[in-house]
Structure 1
């Protein structure tokens, strides 16, 4: 018999997690949970929580997480089997025969840590010995202080291919290979992975050495400047952030975590007083690494070089982050001057220059807009359409529907302002501005009166559409900003098309210099005021009116667009039944979300009306 998941669930159910943790850690009740200073790393304010209902502990500082079995292994230092036996005795359960594979895996991981810890001490000793003299001079030329070298555990791997087995005779060849310290070729040859390099230990969230990074002393063609350990049972580069165990406590003091490109950038920042920096390990930020960052702060700061490569690295990270965005969970970006890394900037302009950059990062949305706007020349309508397509492709990856809608509206607003800049007013015979001049009465021209009549008379339209049309009559300066969205709505909703076409035509013929150019007191009468909507009420701040009007337009356009897409998906059912059904399910979910937003919009706007009666 083996230890099954069901048996472990029963064991966890019989043991109160907090009672076990209390034996070695002082817990304080906090609502339904318990809190304490984390036993896995030094801290002054509690970030360690215990939840008996869910059966797990979690540290928001270092990321330590587990159940009662994990606690016995990680905090008490027991093997998996010993932890199970002790807990089962307490719970009055009989221990089945353990799963030999799982037990062997846990023991192997613990023994591999012994290998990497021993190798780290050997590397450190080498740096202080005769073989490490050149490496130590290299580090001094990089202006690294002795205390920095000690804090980060700098060492040196000698040039020899067979030095490690002699230095670590207590570990067999298989363990040295499995830990990533040695390489085994197909013909049976084995040799040291790291040779002639300055070495840095890579540590997990608890500070244990699990891997290494090495840098050559002199750049040579065909030789990688930086070399990291491969993935091993100890080390998964996609789930590890360099310097996390130091940065997590520091970030609780600063309220910030800074992500840089490499571990030498982390070291340079730490030496300058920025202890809250981490780095991925040779790859773009992964989804798991982003989750680790968000456990520390709501908006981590990405700090990349200002050159093209650095900006592409930032965009790769943003591409990974967009689907994962959630309320109060985003990214911000700092662009370093082109050609400078953090160390260069600090050496050239001082610590203050870095502080100023980190104090005013660019938001994710701003960076996305600026990057795509500047990516290609925008000298033709086709190029501008390409910009819009790229922006909307990014928006479509966002899974949170509220955030997706907000990004879509904001980016479309920016695109419209960029692609359709305001035109200078055109004076024509018969128009108010041509007839009377700016200082005289500004009534509407006959053309404007005719167009306005088409709008105000209306037809079989929704209440929200009528309110939006009336809103544009009160705020004509917004018409051009939303011209593209309105044109899209006219294509999708035939009932709305005549009024929208008249509205856009009117926007080109009215006297745009008047404060209320369409509904001027001496022109055509203003449409009735519907006090449910801010954009139709007097005395509302212009910014609030514009924002609500933009939200209403977005809702009006989104629903018929989804309905149109649904019709197209149903039409191709015979060609691709499975794909059509999957797409229909997705679109129905989106339509349900839009309907809920429309209802919420109406209820939200009804509240002021009720209060005025």
Structure 2
């Protein structure tokens, strides 16, 4: 029986060759790189002691550098297991979940149609590329130039231009001998409900969409005129193109996986192309729709943990949650997703253009694991101030986790959920009232300097720390890592005042004088100050309603979601007012101390530039040491509410 090439390609795409080979060999752990689909083993075809048999998932091929044998999935089974070719195909088709093709003339006709459609698409791609360089393509070339795309990138991705004509492409294809049925079957013309067919793509920048073998199977066209109903237009479904089964730039991205280690999923064609120009050649994009199961499967066959990159706005967050929901049933050991959220209002192209490749690299480095997304989805915007609400959160979280098909992964996710819930709600309180004081001994600190207020003595080491255990473990008092702790501290301060409006009345001057960098957090603080100036309120619901009315509701929810993620419980609405008061007090103290030390460091550095003496240098080092230790030493301030057994104080 002659099997259609497309059927054999589908089997190869669905089953990594390492799964087939791995049943007969033991891969060498030191030499193999499973995350990149690169495996080495001792050759099963000849005896050897060191691994020279190479198996590569991206290519779907194996090769032995010792005896020279090579082949694909089917040849491995025919040569090693003695199966006939049809038997090997039937076995692998069953594993891939594919029905064997019908043995009838109709199947052969469809395969022939596929071949002619691919020929037509190849001719059309060349036509569009040539049109881009002609006079008609000037507008498209100007658009690409304005977007910062260089000529090498344009040629590498085969970009083109569809002339503003009803018949130019159709006539060109006919002149090349392409039959009418093939032109219509390729989706290159509109022929339904019209007496005379006409070109589907007109006055559009053209993006060829390639299959895994780098053959054009469809096109995406971006309108260059504002007077069209669809900004982007894709080819219709054809014998060779099914939108939900294809990822833009996948063939190219797979070639980059060896060095990149993973694949990045962005929203659109231009995002993927401009990232490739910036050095991220492992970026792919769905074709204008939400991620499908088949596309997710393609991603997992390329990398163990693809990174999904979404906009930082509410729509991007919802898209991330949908992707997380889609992925849960398919999780397996070593197979998951990570999520990178872009700054609001920025796409990857903007980010690279404004901040260079390092700006986008920073977004990728901050990507969150799938477990974080599941937690964020269930807790975002929620209030869990009663046992019933907390029980509901636990039920929803565990219901989501139970959708995971793999038992081992599901067990670890359930354990992770229990740990998050315990940390989120805090340990159960025992004893009368709100518990006895929990004190810990401060460790001895070495004396620094030669006297003055900065000096520490061994006696200070025996002093009791009034900070609760929970706060000492929180991000408020964690050493700064590239400014991360400072950022979290500022978020904690603002959230503390918003979630507990009584604090604004008690410490309005502290809140108004808070020194924040320009940005979203400062904007939220300004909105709250304006509200308080017009109508002071101690009611959190009223304050949040007014924040929402003034367009800052999304900002508040964004920062609160971050606070919940890192478990800054003392500044959330469900925290006791006295605990929130003391947490904000301590955060303010650390904030002001940190700011003053950085100012002192700047002055010390300027003094050292003027007078390069040993005394000036020693002073600068001392200030730097103070900055490094401020999180640990300046947190020892009085009080942390009744949970620490301390008296409640006001500002």
Q: Distance in 1 between matches of 2:266 and 2:181?
A: 35
Match for residue 361 of structure 2?
355
Q: Relative to 1, partners in 2 of residues 1:227 and 1:306: Cα closer, same or farther, differing over 3 Å?
A: same
Aligned partner of 1:179 in structure 2 is: 186
SS at the partner of 2:380? helix
Q: SS at 1:168's partner residue?
A: helix
Q: Which residue of 1 aligns with 2:219?
A: 212
Report the counterpart of residue 125 of structure 1 in structure 2: 130
Q: Which residue does 1:99 correspond to in 2?
A: 104
**Aligned ranges for residues 204-603 of structure 1 at < 5 Å?**
204-220=211-227, 223-378=229-384, 381-420=387-426, 423=429, 426=432
The alignment's C-alpha RMSD in Å is 4.0
Counterpart-to-counterpart distance in 2, 1:202 and 1:42: 24
Q: Distance in 2 between matches of 1:422 and 1:219?
A: 61
Task: Give the CA deviation at 1:410.
Answer: 1.3
Which residue of structure 1 lines up, in the alignment, with residue 197 of structure 2?
190
Q: What SS does the aligned partner of 1:199 have? A: strand
**What is the deviation of 1:51?**
6.1
Instruction: Look up the SS of the partner of 1:369 in the other structure.
Output: helix
1:38 positional shift: 9.0
Residue equivalent to 1:142: 147
State the shift of 1:40 in Å. Answer: 6.6
| Structure 1 residue 259, shift from structure 2 partner | 0.9
Q: Secondary structure at the match of 1:350?
A: helix
Superposed CA deviations along residues 319-376 of structure 1, whole A, max 9, x for unmatched, are 1111000111111111111111101111122211111221232110012212321144
Q: Post-superposition shift, 1:396?
A: 2.2
State the distance in 2 between where 1:277 and 1:44 align: 28
For residue 219 of structure 2, give the secondary structure of its aligned residue in structure 1. Answer: strand
How many angstroms does 1:264 deviate by? Answer: 1.0
- Judged with a 3 Å threshold, the aligned counterparts in structure 2 of structure 1 residues 53 and 106 are, in CA distance, closer, same or farther, namely same
Change over 3 Å in CA distance of 1:52–1:148 after alignment to 2: closer
Aligned partners of 1:50 and 1:56 also within 8 Å: no
Aligned residues: 384
With over 3 angstroms needed to count, the CA separation of the structure-2 counterparts of 1:156 and 1:402, relative to structure 1, is same
Report the TM-score when normalising by structure 2: 0.53
Aligned twin of 1:152: 157
Greater shift, 371-380 or 256-265, is seen at 371-380
Q: Classify 1:375/1:206 alpha carbon distance in 2 versus 1 (closer, same or farther; 3 Å).
A: farther
Aligned with 2:202: secondary structure?
coil
Q: 1:383 to 1:45 in 2, by over 3 A?
A: farther
Matches of 1:243 and 1:195, distance apart in 2: 23
Q: Distance in 1 between matches of 2:64 and 2:253?
A: 15
Distance 2:428 2:397 in 1: 22
- Per the alignment, do residues 438 and 309 of structure 1 end up closer, same or farther by CA in structure 2, a change over 3 Å counting? closer
Pairwise CA distance, 1:381 = 4.9
Q: Say which SS state the counterpart of residue 371 (structure 1) adopts.
A: helix
Deviation of 1:400 (Å): 1.0
Q: CA separation of 1:37/1:398 partners in 2, compared to 1, >3 Å: closer, same or farther?
A: closer
Runs of 4+ aligned structure 1 residues displaced above 6 Å come to 2-5, 36-48, 69-72
Q: 1:105 offset after TM fit, Å?
A: 1.5
CA–CA distance in 2 between the matches of 1:338 and 1:297?
A: 27
CA distance in 1, matches of 2:247, 2:135: 32
Q: Which moved more, 1:224-233 or 1:269-278?
A: 224-233
1:165/1:348 CA distance change after superposition, 3 Å: same
Q: Aligned equivalents of 2:288 and 2:41: distance in 1?
A: 42
Aligned-residue offset at 1:314: 1.5
Q: Hey, what's the Cα distance between the residues in 2 that align with 1:135 and 1:148? A: 14
Q: Quickly say closer, same or farther: Cα 1:3–1:262, change in 2 above 3 A.
A: closer
Report the Cα distance in structure 2 between the residues aligned to 1:333 and 1:323, rounded to whole angstroms.
Answer: 17
Aligned partners of 2:244, 2:206: CA distance in 1, in Å? 20
Cα 1:140–1:331, aligned 2, differ >3 Å: closer, same or farther? same
Distance 1:3 1:294 in 2: 30
- Distance in 2 of aligned mates of 1:274 and 1:393: 37
What SS does the aligned partner of 1:117 have? helix
| Distance in structure 1 (CA, Å) of the matches to 2:79 and 2:221 | 37
User: Contact between 2:203 and 2:225, CA under 8 Å: does it hold in 1?
Assistant: no
Q: String of CA shifts for 1:229-255, please: whole Å, max 9, x gaps.
A: 121111111211111111101012221
Change (3 A) 1:421 1:217: farther
